[in-house]
Amino acid sequence: MGLTFKDETFREDFTFFNSPAAIRRFPFPFPEDSYMYSVNMEPHVPGRPGSVFEKTFDVDEHYVAEMRERARVLAEDPLRCQSLPHMTLAGWDLLELIMEAKAREYPDWFSLQRDGNRWHWINRPLEIEQTFTFLDETTLPCGPMEYITRQTQGDFSLQDQRNDNLWMDAGMVTTQADWSLDFDLGMNFFEWHAPVPLAHEKQIFTRALKFLMNVQHGAPARRFNWTMTIDPLLDTSPENYPKWGPSRATLTPENVGRRMHLRVELQTFFRLPRSNALAFPIRCYLIRFEELATQPKWARRLHRVIRDLPDELAAYKGFLRNKPIMVDYLAQFDDGTPTSPGWWAD
Amino acid sequence: MSGGAAKIPVRVAEVTEVNALIRRIRFVRRDGGPMPAFSGGAHTVVEMDDHGTRRLNPYSLMGDPADTTGYSISVRRDDAGRGGSLYLHRHVVPGMDMVISHPVNLFALDLRAKKHLMIAGGIGITPFLAQIAQLAALGGRFELHYATRNPALCAYGDELTARYGGRVHLYHDDAGQMITLPALLAGQPLGTHLYVCGPKGMIRWVRSTADSAGWPRAAVHHEEFLAPPPGKAFDVTLAASGKTLTVGTHQSLLEAIEAAGVDAPYLCRGGACGQCETDVLGCDGTIRHNDHWLTEAQKASGQKIMPCVSRFEGRSLVLDR
């Protein structure tokens, strides 16, 4: 594992950047030159070696810094992690899923030894060692969902399945694209998606819910979502909007390449065995426009996608006011030549 | 996402005659590894090669969900059925290799419940065995009312009574014992969830009694797998695949589609999960809707069919498959 965990920040001086290797493996979310909502699900099976799909839970060069950032967010606002009482079992399911996967797929960094319900967990990058009793909360420093998601990149929502619907009854949400767990907690699938424009009319959520309720154990699924973020800020939360929202008014043609980031969510879906709940990890990847422009295919395509995006979607994703600056910047990379199929870099 | 849940290659580890009608089969993984943990109420779909006929039947997992060394099912012999239970009774022996699906739960506990009130009839006891084991481990509050014809057919009654004592209530039809449901429902604490699994008539009785007593629909849970009913043979055209085929008297539409080599989605194969829902492109005749999935309005519209249990009578049926 020739990977060095970077010491970097996602606030104040914003020292985050992607190494050339991280740029090459970035999950660029556009398989074609235009974008409209779709359910775009596929089985979450191991993908191309080196890609973010290779492992069940991708661990990359930003791991240690992202976990440090999560701890800071939680210290300032503990309500970013909540679990209703009936979701504790789902938390144990998630802990088992992640520990098993990481120990199996990254044996140099993680180790899990099980002796009946006595478990011994080692997380070398974060220098954590813990012996605990599975299903006994008193043997961990915090609840099982919080424990494992403090050690795993990406946000997590645990959804209870009942009454022909999914209910957002637990989660760890510190790297979100402007939504709030504290606000959504206890809502059902249609309620928490209510603000999304255009998609309801297209029956997208009805179809998506049906699909998700049928995600089976042993057959996880995945999809992409995306938005734009100014500066490499992981915590673009409604709670902190007064701190980061005004940055939207500071974008200029001179700084757009450095400050504007494509924000991609790799969303995965796992049926949890003991609780029958659905785990929904939302992994955030950031790439600044300048970094993205090192891949000519992606820069050409992103120009066309943003240029042709309906204004309702640009407004919902929060960049309508900056769309002209972004399109002008990206236009310099678009010579009009065709792009190759699929989203992998050329 | 067709082809049901992911598969597990298993070996039959143990076959036990529980009583005159019920036999228990225990499966372990062929590779010796652990089974996935599961949630109480889950079922597995057992694949059978019945002398050339492919059968896939759902059976509730009845073991302790925390026990990952193997899965157990209990199968009631149905002499008048299509043959799945007879195959499991007559041909399955220890050491045999079989394939079962990952667990799927269409009858999950609502873990918010302050109390779980369970009504079982006959073989309908099986999902409750797993749910009770899970609730006992979690410290959940439950109460079981279990009706069978007589003590000899009261599978697992003694074990349940020995382990859980006063939380288990047994009723025997031959002794004239009846669950006094209205009084039982009237005495439950607020936040109780009601679960029923058993014969069709019992499910209807429990649901309607709870309904008229004002129980919220969301607090009443039931599970009923249907066996595909036989009927007259009929022809169907699969538009997307460009095939026309005949569905036999004892064959389901889904089985006929699969036998023709067309990949079709399914999960429970008992009219409950909704996964095999298929668009009807043309229908000159009557669809015999036998499922629990489509709404009455959808059934009346004639634009959807659940091929796992539903049939057709008439001149022509065209499906988008």
CB contact under 8 A, A219 and B6: yes
CB contact under 8 A, A274 and B66: yes
Examine residue A95 and state whether it is found in any structural domain, yes or no. Answer: no
Closest CA to B171 of B162, B183, B185, B181: B181
Q: Does residue A136 sit at the B interface (CB-CB below 8 Å)? A: no
Q: Do domains B115-223 and B234-319 have the same CATH topology?
A: no
CB contact under 8 A, A217 and B102: yes
| Dist. CA A200–CA A193, nearest whole Å | 9
Examine residue A127 and state whether it is found in any structural domain, yes or no. Answer: no
The reported pLDDT for the residue numbered B1 is 36
Examine residue A3 and state whether it is found in any structural domain, yes or no. Answer: no
Instruction: Assign B82 a pLDDT band (cuts: 50, 70, 90).
Output: confident
Examine residue A263 and state whether it is found in any structural domain, yes or no. Answer: yes
Sheet holding B142-148, edge to edge: B168-172, B142-148, B115-121, B192-197, B220-223
Question: Looking at domain B7-105, does it have CATH number 3.30.70.330?
Answer: no
Average pLDDT, chain B: 93
Which chain B residues contact residue A166 at CB under 8 A?
Answer: none
Q: Residue B266's closest chain A neighbor by CA?
A: A214
Nearest-Cα distance to chain A for B63, in Å, is 13
Give the model confidence (pLDDT) of B100-150 as tens digits: 999 999 999 999 999 999 999 999 999 999 999 999 999 999 999 999 999
CB contact under 8 A, B111 and A275: yes
The reported pLDDT for the residue numbered A18 is 98
Say which of A222, A223, A263, A301 is annotated catalytic: A223
Contact A298, A334 (CB under 8 A): no
CA dihedral B149, B155, B159, B165 (to 10 degrees): -30
* Regions of chain A where pLDDT drops below 70: 1-2, 39, 199-202
Q: Does residue A219 sit at the B interface (CB-CB below 8 Å)? A: yes
In sequence order, the 6+-apart residues with CB closer than 8 A to the CB of A56 are A44, A97, A101, A105, A220
Examine residue A102 and state whether it is found in any structural domain, yes or no. Answer: no
Instruction: Assign B295 a pLDDT band (cuts: 50, 70, 90).
Output: confident
Give the model confidence (pLDDT) of A111-121 as tens digits: 999 999 999 99
Q: What is the CATH T-level fold of the domain B115-223, as seen in this structure? A: Rossmann fold (3.40.50)
CATH architecture of structural domain B234-319: Roll (3.10)
The reported pLDDT for the residue numbered A202 is 66
Domain ranges of chain B: 7-105, 115-223, 234-319
Strands (E), chain A: 42-43, 81-83, 110-115, 118-123, 128-133, 155-162, 165-172, 221-230, 260-271, 278-288
Instruction: Verify whether residue A304 is a known catalytic residue.
Output: no
Examine residue A156 and state whether it is found in any structural domain, yes or no. Answer: no
Please give the residue range of the domain that contains residue A230.
25-83+161-331
Give the model confidence (pLDDT) of A288-346 as tens digits: 999 999 999 999 999 999 999 999 999 989 999 999 999 999 999 999 999 998 888 88
Give the pLDDT mean for B8-34. 97
The reported pLDDT for the residue numbered B230 is 86
For chain A, how many structural domains are there in total? 1
Which secondary structure element, helix H or strand E, spans residue B56, and what is its range?
A: strand B53-60
Tokens coding B64:
């302790």
Q: Does residue A104 sit at the B interface (CB-CB below 8 Å)? A: no
